[in-house]
Structure 1
Amino acid sequence: MQETAADTPTAFARIDWGQPWLAPLAERGARWQEAALADYVTYLHSLNVDARRAALSTGRGKPLSFIAQDDLPPGASYEGHIAATGCVPTRHNLHDFFNASMWFQYPRIKAALNALQAGQIDALGIGPTRGGLRDALTLFDENAVIFASCDAGVSEVLRDFDWQTLFVTGRDGWGERCEARIFGHALLEKLVVPYKACTGHAWIVEVPSAYFSSDDAQRRAMLDERIAEMLLGDPPTSRDFAPLPVLGVPGWWPANESMAFYDDASVFRPGRRGR
């Protein structure tokens, strides 16, 4: 089996499961990391053992499995192939490592994204551009941060780019009225080597206050169901997202314990309020 677009072992070794945004992935991810450091065949085998145990499926009900990138037939579209066969072409790199992780963390969301992408491909074919809906679906898949909130006021603060209220004066509300969970696999790849300006596209989800007294598995299940229904019921546009500098999330980065961290206007931009 030829290996396509592989990362060096050093790239996989850099994954730090102690980072708070990776904590929900750590148990399965550490096993996959060990397999990826061994070789490509061992890595794919590990993914498929877990996929069979979890009985995952695509939006069209196909049992999910992971195949080598080179096994994608010539001329076949990535999303269309997944929808038709259940087989996810997977390279031996960090980008696809985190993509596979999201199929396990949020299987309904991933299935909904795939179903919508495949539907667009069926209807319009593959052209030089994706089109507005496919662009928005790709943005979600690659760079989304799920922002769960039980307080509409907090959600509005995020939409208004009011970073001082969101991160400074409202700091104590994190974990009680709102939280962030990274979904986008390209964003997770970037955060293997974190940098201050790293920004995700926040997808805001209103949740009941009881959400914040639930455990991690219950929270993920609630978000998975709600967001999948949102996507299928009212497909997204790029305007539905709000930018979120992820290292500003309280508890995610030691430097943000100093409130001066948020004074950097090149990262925490004034946005709509400034206009």
Structure 2
Amino acid sequence: MRYVAPAREVVDPVVFTHAPLKQWGEFADWLQGARWPSIDELNARWSLHAPERFVAQTRELLEDGLHYEERIATRGLIATREANWHDLFNAMIWLRYPQLKRALNRQQMAEIAQVGRRERSRPQCAQTHFDEAGVIVTVKDPGLLELWDRHDWYALFWRRRSAWVEGLVAVELFGHALLEHALTPGKLLVGKALVVMAGQEADSSEALACCARAIAEARWLRDPLELRPLPLSGIPGWHPGNAEEAFHRHAACYQPLREGRHYPAPLRLA
């Protein structure tokens, strides 16, 4: 069933006190204010030399005949529905992670050139899945990745709970549909993850830059099966129930590993 976000006036304020929405405080006025931000207000947040701009998605705009991605690549225009949660979150992702968005746009354009506007290739499916539900996960302990490989969610999120608090594994949320789903209190969230193995001193900006390069150079997101499911609701602070051990034994978001399913090796930071 297609998710329908709650109306702005009935969103429960509690959702802004938990991850992931808690982590987007720089946009609190857009998220929690009484009115929707205007297109001009969205554009006012761009850095001075950014080549893109948000533009209202109107019938006149769409009559240019361009694919959504082509309009961004050739005109720098990001079609945005006004008073719409999904597109507001997309704008926030553009403003926080422009290098990743541009890398995706570059590869979408390469695929459109190959298969046309009406077809969708395996790489395009992977890119769209990541755009909607993607997370970048930096792992600093190989043992955590081994647990993840086996879908040993109880061990990953309960026995090794301290690893999430201590920063041995860190998540950057990229998918704007995940933010939209988080508007529903207690909703179980599962991300589609790209993984970077890193040393103890690495920070999130290095992992993000590493991912952006790999996507732009067509080394990643060539197939949806590259993406690892990550039950985000198991991370401390992401769901009110996960402070109890029972959650990690029975949560519906903890799915077993499918027979024959294997994940690609992560990227590695030097």
Tell me if both proteins adopt one fold, taking TM over 0.5 as the criterion: yes
Whether 1:235 aligns to 2:233 is no
What residue ranges of structure 1 are gaps of 5+ in the alignment? Answer: 1-5, 57-62
Q: How many residues align?
A: 252
- RMSD of aligned C-alpha atoms? 2.6
Distance between the aligned counterparts of 1:77 and 1:14, measured in 2? 36
Query: 8-17 or 245-254, which moves further after superposition?
Result: 8-17
Distance between the aligned counterparts of 1:229 and 1:15, measured in 2? 37
TM-score under structure 2 length normalisation:
0.84
Equivalent residues of 1:44, 1:68 under 8 A apart: yes
User: What SS is found at the alignment partner of 1:188?
Assistant: helix
Name which of 37, 44, 60 aligns with 2:39. 44
What residue ranges of structure 2 are gaps of 5+ in the alignment? Answer: 262-270
Equivalent residues of 2:100, 2:211 under 8 A apart: yes
Matched residue, 1:191: 182
With over 3 angstroms needed to count, the CA separation of the structure-2 counterparts of 1:8 and 1:254, relative to structure 1, is closer
Distance between the aligned counterparts of 2:251 and 2:32, measured in 1? 40
Look up the equivalent residue of 1:47 and give its one-letter code: L
Matched residue, 2:244: 258
Name which of 101, 105, 109 aligns with 2:100. 109
Name which of 231, 240, 254 aligns with 1:245. 231
Look up the equivalent residue of 2:216 and give its one-letter code: L
With over 3 angstroms needed to count, the CA separation of the structure-2 counterparts of 1:273 and 1:265, relative to structure 1, is farther
Matched residue, 1:88: 78
User: What SS is found at the alignment partner of 2:246?
Assistant: helix
Matched residue, 1:66: 54
Question: C-alpha displacement at 1:19, in angstroms?
Answer: 1.9
Distance between the aligned counterparts of 2:187 and 2:247, measured in 1? 9
Matched residue, 2:115: 124
Look up the equivalent residue of 1:243 and give its one-letter code: P
Question: C-alpha displacement at 1:119, in angstroms?
Answer: 1.7
Look up the equivalent residue of 1:225 and give its one-letter code: A
User: What SS is found at the alignment partner of 2:117?
Assistant: coil
Alignment map for 1:13-28 (pairs within 5 Å): 16-27=15-26
Distance between the aligned counterparts of 2:238 and 2:173, measured in 1? 12
Distance between the aligned counterparts of 2:251 and 2:13, measured in 1? 30
User: What SS is found at the alignment partner of 1:224?
Assistant: helix
Look up the equivalent residue of 1:244 and give its one-letter code: L
Question: C-alpha displacement at 1:34, in angstroms?
Answer: 6.1
User: What SS is found at the alignment partner of 1:50?
Assistant: coil
Equivalent residues of 2:186, 2:240 under 8 A apart: no
With over 3 angstroms needed to count, the CA separation of the structure-2 counterparts of 1:122 and 1:13, relative to structure 1, is farther
Question: C-alpha displacement at 1:201, in angstroms?
Answer: 1.0
Whether 1:140 aligns to 2:130 is yes
Identity fraction in percent: 33
Question: C-alpha displacement at 1:250, in angstroms?
Answer: 1.7
Question: C-alpha displacement at 1:10, in angstroms?
Answer: 2.1
Distance between the aligned counterparts of 1:243 and 1:142, measured in 2? 13
With over 3 angstroms needed to count, the CA separation of the structure-2 counterparts of 1:273 and 1:171, relative to structure 1, is farther
Distance between the aligned counterparts of 2:185 and 2:149, measured in 1? 24
Distance between the aligned counterparts of 1:114 and 1:84, measured in 2? 11
With over 3 angstroms needed to count, the CA separation of the structure-2 counterparts of 1:122 and 1:11, relative to structure 1, is farther
With over 3 angstroms needed to count, the CA separation of the structure-2 counterparts of 1:263 and 1:154, relative to structure 1, is same
Instruction: For residues 4-27 of structure 1, give each alpha carbon's deviation from its aligned partner in whole angstroms, at most 9, with x where no partner exists.
Output: xx9843267858432222233211
